[in-house]
Structure 1
Amino acid sequence: MAAFLEIENLVKTFGTNTVVKGASFGFDKGEFISLLGPSGCGKTTILRMIAGFERPTSGAIRVDGKDITSLKPNQRQLGMVFQAYALFPNLTVGDNIGFGLKIAGMPADQRRARVEEMLKLIGLPGFEKRFPYEMSGGQQQRVALARAIAPKPRLLLLDEPLSALDAKIRVSLRQEIRAIQQDLGITTVFVTHDQEEALSISDRIVVMNAGNIEQLGTPHEIYNKPTSRFAATFVGQLNLLPAGIFPQGTVANASSVLALRPEMLSLAPKNGTDIALPATITDVNFLGAVVRLNVDLAGTPVHIDTFNDQSTPPSRGDQVTVHITSRDLLVLPN
C-alpha cells in the first residue's frame, strides 16, 4: 500500500549550493511527522517544496497517490502555519479564519458556522470580532492554525510555528496542536530545530543534516537507537566515551566510539552486566527534578543525570564509582 505522503529523490539547488540532496521518505495518512535539524539543513526547503512555494530541481512529491510536484500552491489542498502568524492585521479573527472559505466560495451562513466551530476547537469561542493586535502571540498562533484547517486540507504544514513564543506557552501550545491534529486525523508535517518539541509530539521524526536524511524513525528509535553519530549527538544529551577506558573484553572493537545517555549512568550499582569505573566529581548542577553531575572518568568529562530524591548530592572533588550497564552503550561510527 502506497504512503499517503511520498517524497522521492527530492533535490533542491540554489545556484551552486545544493540544500536538499535526494531526500526520500513516505508517511501514512494521519501521521504527525517532524523534520528536525539545525538551521540550514534543508528541512524548511522540503516543507516549502511540499507547499509549492519552491520548485524542486528534481524528484517527485505525491499526496494520496497523486503527483503534485508541478501544481500551484492553491491547487494542492494544503493548510500552512508560519512562524510569524501571518494574520491579516486589518481583518477580525473571524474574517481571518474564514478567509480561505470565502475565497473558495462558501456561503456566508456556512462560513460563520465553520468559523464558530474552529474557534471552539482552538479554545477561543467569542473572539471572532477581535483584531490580531488585541491578542497575545499564543492566541494569534491558534487563530493561524484555525485558518489553516478551516478549509479541511488533506495535509497540514507547520513551519516552526512556536519559535516566536515564550517557553511556557510553547509547551502548552504544542500539546494543543497535537491534540487537535489527533482529533482531526490530519496528516501533518512539522518543521522544528527543537529536539524536545519533535520528541514530545511526533509519530515519526526525520533527522536532517546538511541536506541529507540522517535517520527516520519513531521518537523512541531516534533517541534510544540512533543510527548515525550526528543523530546521536543532535538529539538529547550524549556522552562520547573512548572504548579504551573500559576493561578489556567489555567492547568488541577497541577503536569504536561509544556513547551513553546521561541518565544511563549511576553512582549506585545497576542490575545486569555492571561495569564499575572510578571517577571524580567536577561539578554539581541542580536542575529541579534532575541533578546533573559532571565527572572526570579516566580523563574524559562525563555527565550523569539523576532524579532529585531529596538526598544530599555529592560535592565537587568527591571520589565516586560510576556504574554502567553494557547493554546501554551505543556503538557509533568513528
Structure 2
Amino acid sequence: MAEPFLQIDSIVKKFGENTVIHGVDLAFAKGEFISLLGPSGCGKTTILRMIAGFERPTTGRIIVDGKDITDLNPNQRKIGMVFQAYALFPNMNVADNVAFGLKVAGVGKEERSARVEEMLKLIGLAGYNKRYPFELSGGQQQRVALARALAPRPRMLLLDEPLSALDAKIRVSLRQEIRAIQRDLGITTVFVTHDQEEALSISDRIVVMNAGHVEQVGAPFEIYNRPQTRFVAQFVGTLNTIEATVTDAPSRRISIDGQDAVLATLPADIATNTPISLTLRPEAVSLGKPNGQDIELEGTVSEVNFLGSVIRLRVDLGRNSVNLDTFNDQRTPPPALNERVRVSINSSDVLLLN
C-alpha cells in the first residue's frame, strides 16, 4: 500500500486501570471502506471515537494525510461522523439539520442552500427540506444524518453502527446506498459493526477485533475463507469444527470418528496420534461425491432447516457433526431426518485451527 491516508500507530487506551485497546496498529489507504468488526466490548467504537477526537489515546498516535491529529479537537479534524441513534435536532427541519455544520463553519446562506440541495439529491430525499425528523422513517432519518455529516465535505467519514436500529430489509438497502455514495465521493470511510454479513458485503477490508486486540485484517474473501486465528474462524460466518486424530503424519492421514481421510497439508511438526481441530464452511461440504471432492464421510441426518433458496442439513458423523448447504431444488426433496447419507469435502478447503 502507498503512503497510508489514516494511520493508527501503537494506540493504547485505558479507562482507569482497565486497558480496552492494547497497542493497535492499523493503516488505511485514501478512499478505502474499512469495517471494524467484532463483538460488543471489543474496542471498535473506542477506536472510532479516538479517530473522531471524542476520546484521547493513553499512548500512541493518529495520523491523517501525513499530519498528527492526536491532540486536535473534533472540530479541527475535518471528519464527519454518523451515530447509531441518528442524533438529529428534533426542532429543526431536514434542510436545517443538513446545513447545521455549514452554518457553524460560517458558510454563507446561498452556498449553504446549494449544498443542502446537493446533499438531499445525493441521499435520495430531494424535496424533503421542510419535513421534521418525526415525519421521517428510521431509514430516512439515517440518510439525513449521513447528509449532515457529508455536507461540510469532510476528508473522512466515520459510521458507528448506523444501521443497527433499522429493520433487516431497510438495513440491506441502506448499506448498499451508503457504499454507493462512498464510492461516488471517494471518501475514506471507517464503519463499525458487529454484523458479519454487513461487513463482508460492503467492505474493501475488514479489521476483526477481539478484547481490544486486532485478530486479522484482510479483504472479505480472505477473512471468510482464510481465517488466521480460531476467534476469526468462529466469529465470522457459520463454521464446522471437527475433532480428528493424526494416524500417519508423513502421509497426512487422519481419522474422523473412525473414518479415514487424507489432508492436503499438515504441519511438519505434528506427530502421529496427535489430536487436531479442523474447520470448514458449510458450503464446502456436499452430499454424495461431486467431481473433485477427495474426502468421503458417512453420517446420519439430524437436522433439516429450510432457508428459502438454501437448505441447511446437519449430519452426525459420530462425536462430530457437520452443517452443509444445498440448493433448494423443487424436483428433488432433501434427505429425511435419520437418513444415512454420504458427504464429501475437498481437502484443500479444510483448515487446521491453531
Using structure 2 for the length normalisation, give the TM-score: 0.92
Aligned to 1:304: 324
Distance 1:248 1:93, change over 3 A: closer
Q: Structure 1, residues 284-331: CA drift from partner, whole Å, max 9, x if none?
A: 000001100011012212211111122200010000001111001011
Q: Does the 8 A contact of 2:203 with 2:219 survive in 1? A: yes
SS in 1 for 2:227: coil
Q: Structure 1, residues 138-181: CA drift from partner, whole Å, max 9, x if none?
A: 00000000000000000000000000000100000000000000
CA drift at 1:268? 2.3
1:43-82 equivalences under 5 Å are: 43-82=44-83
Aligned to 1:146: 147
Aligned to 2:31: 30
Letter in 2 for 1:194: D
Q: Does the 8 A contact of 1:273 with 1:327 survive in 2? A: no
SS in 2 for 1:280: strand
| Cα distance in 1 for residues equivalent to 2:127 and 2:143 | 14
Letter in 1 for 2:76: Q
The CA RMSD measured in Å over matched residues stands at 1.1
Letter in 1 for 2:77: R
CA drift at 1:73? 0.2
Q: Give the share of equivalent positions with the same residue, in percent.
A: 68
Q: Does the 8 A contact of 2:101 with 2:148 survive in 1? A: yes
Unaligned 5+ residue runs, structure 2?
Answer: 246-255
CA drift at 1:273? 4.9
CA drift at 1:77? 0.2
SS in 1 for 2:260: coil
1:1-334 equivalences under 5 Å are: 1-244=2-245, 245=256, 247=260, 249-250=262-263, 252=266, 253=270, 254-310=274-330, 311-333=332-354
CA drift at 1:249? 4.4
Q: Structure 1, residues 11-34: CA drift from partner, whole Å, max 9, x if none?
A: 101112111101101011000000
The count of corresponding residues between Structure 1 and Structure 2 is 333
Letter in 1 for 2:118: E
Letter in 2 for 1:278: E
| Cα distance in 2 for residues equivalent to 1:151 and 1:268 | 58
CA drift at 1:107? 0.8
| Cα distance in 2 for residues equivalent to 1:325 and 1:108 | 64
Distance 1:137 1:273, change over 3 A: closer
Letter in 2 for 1:98: A
| Cα distance in 2 for residues equivalent to 1:290 and 1:12 | 44
| Cα distance in 2 for residues equivalent to 1:273 and 1:135 | 53
| Cα distance in 2 for residues equivalent to 1:97 and 1:68 | 26
